[in-house]
Amino acid sequence: MLRPMHLRTLFDRLARVIITVGGLATIVSILGIFFFLFREVTPLFTAPSAKLTQRLSVPALLVDEGPAQVAVDEHREIAQVFTSGAIQFFDLASGQPIPLEMPAQVVGRQITAMASGGGNAQRLAVGTADGEILLLKVGTTTEFTDRGERRKRPHIRAGQPIPLTKSPIVRLAYRANDQGSLLALVSKGGRLLVVRIAADDVTGQHPVVTELPQPRGAVTALALDALLENLYVGTADGQVVHVALSETEPPEMRAAYTIAAPSTAVTALGFLSGDRSLVVMSEDGAVSTWGLVRRADAPSGWTLTQIHTLRAHNAPVTAFAPSQRVKGFVTGDRKGNLFLHHATSSQTLLRLATSEFPIRAVAFAPKGDGLIALDGAGQLSLYQVQNAYPEVTLETLFGKVWYEGYDQPAHVWQSSSGSDDVEPKLGLLPLAFGTLKGTMYALFLAVPIAILAAMCTSQFMQQDLRAKIKPIIEVMAALPTVVLGFLAGLWLAPLLERMLPAVAGMALVLPLLVVGASFAWYLCPLSAKRHLPQGQEALLLIPLLGLGIVGCLWANSLIEGWWFDGNVKAWLSSRLGIQYDQRNALIVGIVMGFAIVPVIYSIAEEALSNVPKIQIAGSLALGATRWQTVLHLVLLSASPGIFSAVMIGFGRAIGETMIVLMATGNTPILDWNWANGFRTLSANIAVEIPEAPHGGTLYRVLFLAALLLFIVTFVINSLAELVRQRLRDKYSHG
């Protein structure tokens, strides 16, 4: 019984709409994966930006020619301005100064130099016109009012003044750690002093003062590192002098480095966060970072080397501040420009024309999302900075990068470390290399086996047997790779470690056995052959090869004795210089090869068996042997199909995760050697993404790795598919 016609048409239309919408939605959503991945990656490469959010004029009291420091808190609510005139805090919401009780020690002293102590606590040291030093701690206490609002109260604590010289202190450097405090200072007369205050000397009344010989030019800048071991002195004639300091021994002038043209003064010195990279800024506006690098020819074994050169200012650099989170920093010049740099990636991210007056002081907000700068006219500018991924550029991802603490530029993947001061090293090249290495070893094993097997079943094998064997090999493709990975890591790796000589033996014995078997078959008289099964060479070979393998395993120690002096690992390392790791590329080659054999086999088999039978029959009829026919006719005709089979196998191996995760040891090294491990892009994602904070640099770089895998496999598969379709068309028409 049919429904009425109008209902039937309605159903038909409805079905059309539902199927179209549902079908399109499914297709769009699976193709949308690409765009979603792309969207997660793009923030890495968006240019940083800064927005001026506030500008206020500081009281005239704070406007002078002397030293200055600025700071802003992490919520960007309170700004701190510290000049030789006074210390003042500003509530940025209202723009009003916050009343503050000054310690008695500060009041009435004329400040001629100041330096920050580094680290998170706001430690400051100031030098006075009377040749005294005063250590200060600036902090804020956060209170919550009854209504649950957050209110911050700044406070200052000061130690007792420490008299050191008679003349005013003009330059000062200061670092403090749990062993004590160290200061370096220059007096107006040019005396260079190092002052050490032990940690247990709370009041600072027993400083140990050492005077250093004066360098050739006048001292224009000082920098001390947090280890309290290295002092760098910048001079007016363009030199940086390295002084090694120690608690027990007298200071030692290590070396003087010329960093700028003579008579070009070093205008500022500073450290990046972690106090390992020295930033040198000079009168001609040049900005560069320097680090101690191991050199055999240097007297101390180390030499200060220029690592990165950044964009130069057009005017002398007057202010510097490091970022507290990354290896970035900001510099300000006499013409009022601010440059935002990132050292490791050697790039200057932003240029901000802040004012027309010299920048007196500049600072990052603690989270790196804000900047504050004070200019010579007393203007305080506050910027909001969008700069979440300064360390990532195409060059840092794929090129050699000179990381802090390295002797030379290198490809490194090391996404995390024990300390916050060590930068993450996100070089994808070792991982891409590992991916390629694993794939190559797997193909090296899988391609010959798969193609030989495909040739055998499609051309030489008896049809009934072929119908049984083909599905067995193809079902291998469905084996979960976690199973193969488990066998590779826990069964094959320890076995191969002991049985390496046997494997070497097999490489020799098995081909010999095949040659022997074929020769025996050839010699076998025709009358006898008639009673033997035809087209079943493979079955005959199984027991033979099995015996060969068992024999080699049994003779393992014998082979080790004959060929490898009784100890294969020692032999490898002494003769070939190869260090054998238990989980290595050979294991992955074998097991991943095993995983892709069925993939390559099934496509190659299809291509080979699609070669028209009539052509084969023609060739045989003309007197060619079956091998000649296969070599010159079938293989040639099917070569595009075989090529596409190899490509698909390649694509499969590139993205394989579980096998490499379990069988490689996951060490990201660049080495083609078969006896050591590697780390692939895919395994790296599996290992690291659960620990990567959502939206962070590592997270997005891992997404980039996933996107790369996606694109590479997609392109390879598409090419292979195209080749296959053309081949299919050719034979369906011909």
Partner 1 sequence: MGERSTLMKDFWRGGELFVWMTASGVALSLMMVAGMLGLIMINGLGQFWPAALQETTLKTQETVIGQVVGEEVIPNSITPDSPAGQRRCRYRVGNRDQFGSEYRWINAADIVSSARPEDLTLVERREWGPAFGRITVGVEGAATGSASGSSWTTVKTLVERANQLRRRIEHLEREEIGSINYRIEKARLARHALTLNGRLAPADAEKDQRLLDQMTALERDYLVKTEALERLHKEAGQEVLFLTLSTGRSVRLSLDQVLAVSRPNGMHWGEKLLAYVRNLWLFVSSEPREANTEGGIFPAIFGTVLMVFLMTLAVMPFGVMAAVYLREYANQGLLVRLVRIAVNNLAGVPSIVFGVFGLAFFVYALGGTIDHWLFPEALPNPTFGTGGILWASLTLALLTVPVVIVATEEGLSAVPRDFREGSLGLGATKFETLRHVILPCALPGILTGLILAMARAAGEVAPLMLTGVVKLAPALPLDEYLPFLHLDRKFMHLGFHIYDVGFQSPNVEAAKPMVYMTTLILILVVVSLNWTAVRLRNRLRRRFAASAV
Residues in region 589-618 near partner 1 by CB under 8 A = 594, 597-598, 601
Is 100 among the residues that bind partner 1 (CB under 8 A)?
Answer: no
Shortest distance (Å) from residue 543 CB to partner 1: 9
Q: Which of 487, 509, 607, 675 binds partner 1 (CB under 8 A)?
A: 487
Output 256 or 545, the one with its CB closest to partner 1: 545
CA-to-CA distance for 543 and 396, rounded, in angstroms? 55
Is 121 among the residues that bind partner 1 (CB under 8 A)?
Answer: no
Question: In this structure, are residues 71 and 103 in contact, taking their beta carbons and an 8 Å threshold?
Answer: no
Per residue, the 3-state secondary structure of 706-721, as one string, reads HHHHHHHHHHHHHHHH
Shortest distance (Å) from residue 422 CB to partner 1: 26
What character string, x for contact with partner 1 (CB under 8 A) and - otherwise, covers 620-639?
-----xxxx-xx--------
Question: In this structure, are residues 351 and 339 in contact, taking their beta carbons and an 8 Å threshold?
Answer: yes
Output 31 or 353, the one with its CB closest to partner 1: 31
Output 226 or 446, the one with its CB closest to partner 1: 446
Q: Which of 9, 53, 205, 416 binds partner 1 (CB under 8 A)?
A: 9
Q: Which of 81, 243, 552, 648 binds partner 1 (CB under 8 A)?
A: 648
Output 107 or 472, the one with its CB closest to partner 1: 472
Q: Which of 257, 357, 486, 564 binds partner 1 (CB under 8 A)?
A: 486
Is 562 among the residues that bind partner 1 (CB under 8 A)?
Answer: no
Per-residue b or e along 557-572, where b marks 16 or more CB atoms closer than 10 Å to that residue's CB: eebbeeebeeebeebb
> Which residues neighbour 662 within 8 Å (Cβ) at sequence distance 6 or greater?
482, 485, 486, 488, 489
Q: Encoding tokens for residue 141? A: 């206490």
The overall longest dimension of the chain from CA atoms, in Å, is: 121
Q: Which of 686, 698, 728, 731 binds partner 1 (CB under 8 A)?
A: 686
Is 453 among the residues that bind partner 1 (CB under 8 A)?
Answer: yes
What value does the CA radius of gyration of the chain take, rounded to a whole number of Å?
37
Contact stretch for partner 1 (CB under 8 A) within 101-109, 351-359, 381-389, 456-464:
456-464
Q: Which of 502, 685, 723, 727 binds partner 1 (CB under 8 A)?
A: 685
Output 43 or 251, the one with its CB closest to partner 1: 43
> Which residues neighbour 180 within 8 Å (Cβ) at sequence distance 6 or greater?
196, 197, 198, 199, 201, 228
CA 97 to chain centre: 44
What character string, x for contact with partner 1 (CB under 8 A) and - otherwise, covers 389-428?
----------------------------------------
Q: How far is CA 345 from CA 201, 318, 387, 400, in A?
A: 42, 23, 14, 10
CA-to-CA distance for 332 and 338, rounded, in angstroms? 4
- Tell me the number of residues near partner 1 by CB under 8 A: 115
Shortest distance (Å) from residue 658 CB to partner 1: 5
Q: How far is CA 707 from CA 42, 412, 481, 669, 684, in A?
A: 11, 20, 22, 22, 13
Pairing, β 302-310 against β 317-322 = unpaired
Output 65 or 464, the one with its CB closest to partner 1: 464
Question: In this structure, are residues 55 and 79 in contact, taking their beta carbons and an 8 Å threshold?
Answer: no
Near partner 1 in 492-531, by CB under 8 A? 498, 510, 514-515, 517-519, 521-522
Shortest distance (Å) from residue 693 CB to partner 1: 11
Can you say whether the dihedral through the CA atoms of 492, 498, 502, 507 is positive or negative? positive
Output 580 or 601, the one with its CB closest to partner 1: 601
Shortest distance (Å) from residue 387 CB to partner 1: 22
Is 573 among the residues that bind partner 1 (CB under 8 A)?
Answer: no
Q: Which of 49, 314, 718, 729 binds partner 1 (CB under 8 A)?
A: 718
